[in-house]
Amino acid sequence: MDSPAPYFHWGFILFSVPNLVVTGLMLAFFGVALIAPFPTRHGTKSKKQNQ
Amino acid sequence: MSRAQPEEPTGGGWTGTIRNQIAGRLPLEELLPTRQPDYVRSWVYLFGAITIAALIWVMASGVVLAFFGPQWWHRSSIGRFFNSLHFWGVQVFFVFLVLHLWTQFWAAGWRDGRGPTWVIGVVAFLTSIVAAFTGYVSQQNFDAQWIAVNAKDAINATGLGAIFNPLNFGQAYGIHIMLLPVVVVLLVAIHIALVRMKGVVRPIGAPAPGVSGAATDDTEASA
């Protein structure tokens, strides 16, 4: 904890690994939230929604 | 003796005008809806709600920290616990705020008259960054000193060095706990009121509610 964080350095891109991990997790979370089914009141989608 | 029925608002006086304006633009059924359009059934619509929950968490823990002071939050175990609650609450706040921002950006959330909602959300985001910065320099530790010393040059470069000194704990702390929380909460309240007035934006390409083929398992959309 007392040592500097390692950095990812590629050309002009300079990213600390902790920031890279958080950003990656946020992107993954966003992707999952987009595609994961949302539970409905009765556990199934309504007929109207499926039409 | 029967109780007199309240009269219909006539709009007389400035109080009546304001009341009628609020009641007309934001009736209670819009402010606290019980149903939402079908397209709101997605996890991405929870990002904003989680951001608000984190803001409440940050405010509550911040009140406790302000009451007991820096010695308490650095030296006692319960103080360090509340310090951590405040810090990690801020991390959750910003993570979900940015996820909410991504959602609204890719959904073009400013459509159909929602420009003010988008702009006030952006201003709330920027104000939150300043609030977080003043919080970092108010920690009363070496981390705060390091950030403040580095920030001093940056603030001077903007020309604001004469009125804001990040090395001045009293100034940064006062702004952090008095001014910015009020501004952020006010902006968020206006943002939420606008969302409730205009409703959640339709997905791009989706037909308007009530139009044939639209998802209609809902009450009328607020848009």
Look at residue B220 and tell me if it is in a domain. Answer: no
Sequence-ordered list of residues with C-beta below 8 angstroms from that of A19, at least 6 positions apart, any chain: none
What local confidence, expressed as pLDDT, does residue B61 receive?
97
pLDDT per position as a tens digit, B136-172: 999 999 999 999 999 999 999 999 999 999 999 999 9
Q: Give phi and psi for B171, each to the nearest 5.
A: -70, -50
- A26, A32, A49 ranked by CB distance to B38: nearest: A49
- Token pair for B91: 């991390």
Residue B59: closest CA among B145, B194, B183: B183
Q: How far apart, in whole angstroms, are the C-alpha atoms of residue B201 and residue B117?
A: 11
- CATH number of the structural domain spanning residue B151: 1.20.810.10
The answer on B75 and B116 residing in a single domain is no
Distance from CA of B42 to the nearest CA of A (A): 5
For residue B3, tell me if it sits in a domain. no
Same domain (yes/no): B188, B114: yes
The pLDDT assigned to B38 comes to 82
Range of the domain at B91: 41-95
Q: Are B93 and B55 in contact (CB under 8 A)?
A: yes
Q: Give the residue among B91, B78, B70 at the shortest CA–CA distance from B139.
A: B70
Judged by a CB distance cut-off of 8 A, whether residue B19 touches chain A is: no
> Which pLDDT belongs to residue B220?
42
Mean pLDDT by runs of 10 across the 223 residues of chain B is: 53 84 82 81 92 97 96 96 97 97 95 94 97 95 93 92 93 96 97 91 79 47 38
C-beta atoms surrounding B68 within 10 Å: 13
10 Å CB burial of residue B138 (0-12, 13-18, 19+) is buried
Structure confidence at residue B36 (pLDDT): 80
With contact defined as beta carbons under 8 Å apart, do B97 and B125 qualify? yes
Q: What is the pLDDT of residue B7?
A: 53
| pLDDT confidence of residue A47 | 47
- CB of A48 within 8 Å of any CB in chain B? yes
Per-residue model confidence (pLDDT) at position B11? 57
Q: How far is A10 from chain B (nearest CA, A)?
A: 25
Per-residue model confidence as pLDDT tens digits over B35-58: 888 888 889 999 999 999 999 999
Please state the domain count of chain B. 2
Number of H helices, E strands in chain A: 2, 2
Q: Are residues B73 and B143 in the same domain?
A: no
Residues B123 and B71 grouped into a single domain: no
Cβ atoms of B87 and B135 closer than 8 Å: no
Residue B21 lies in a domain: no
Sign, CA torsion B144/B149/B155/B160: positive
Q: Are residue B187 and residue B112 in the same domain, yes or no?
A: yes
Same domain, B128 and B163: yes
Both B70 and B130 in a single domain?
A: no
Give yes or no for B215 touching A (CB within 8 A): yes
Chain B nearest-CA distance from A15, in A, is 17
Q: CA B6 to CA B89: how far, in whole Å?
A: 45
Residues of chain A with pLDDT under 50: 46-48, 50-51
Q: Is B41 helix (H, G, I), strand (E, B) or coil?
A: coil
Question: What is the predicted pLDDT for the residue at B213?
Answer: 47
Residues 6+ apart with CB under 8 A from B68: B79, B82
Is A10 an 8 Å CB contact of chain B?
no
Question: Taking CB atoms and an 8 Å limit, are A48 and B217 in contact across chains?
Answer: yes
Q: Are residues B83 and B113 in the same domain?
A: no
- 3-class secondary structure, B171: helix
Length of chain B: 223
Is B85 within a domain? yes
Query: B86 and B156 share a domain?
Result: no
